[in-house]
Amino acid sequence: QSVLTQPPSASGTPGQRVTISCSGSSSNIGNDYVYWYQQLPGTAPKLLIYRNNQRPSGVPDRFSGSKSGTSASLAISGLRSEDETDYYCAAWDDSLSGWVFGGGTKLTVL
């Protein structure tokens, strides 16, 4: 059971906007930044969003992040077929003194 809670699946049609939620607690999301990773099959996770809402260079502005209290969201606008893959949220947990992750959300582009 993952420390952070994500929906196991999400879906949308091309061009649509979808959001993926991530719920935590006061010892992780409520006390620190949230990070989002995209994982293509057979590859390591790739940083998509850092410090709640910042995009690394090279990440399209279709991807955006937000945080409120002990929850966070990843939004993908203008959905494209290549966005169909797995997404994970992560945060540092002060109580556990380690990184914690969501269980991952598999995004399907219909």
Give dist(CA 91, CA 40) in Å, integer.
20
Burial class (CB in 10 A: 0-12, 13-18, 19+), 101: middle
Examine residue 100 and tell whether it contacts another protein (CB under 8 A): yes
If one asks whether residue 98 binds another protein (CB under 8 A), the answer comes out as yes
Site for another protein contains 72 (CB under 8 A): no
Site for another protein in 14-43 (CB under 8 A): 33, 35, 37, 43
Distance of alpha carbon 88 from alpha carbon 84, whole angstroms? 13
101: contact with another protein by CB under 8 A: yes
Query: CB under 8 A: which stretch of 11-19, 20-28, 69-77, 102-110 binds another protein?
Result: 102-110
- The Cα–Cα gap between 65 and 99 comes to 19
- Residue 59: CB minimum distance to another protein, A: 14
The four Cα atoms 96, 39, 72, 18 give a dihedral, to 10 degrees, of -160
Site residues (vs another protein, CB under 8 A): 2, 33, 35, 37, 43-47, 50-51, 88, 90, 96-104
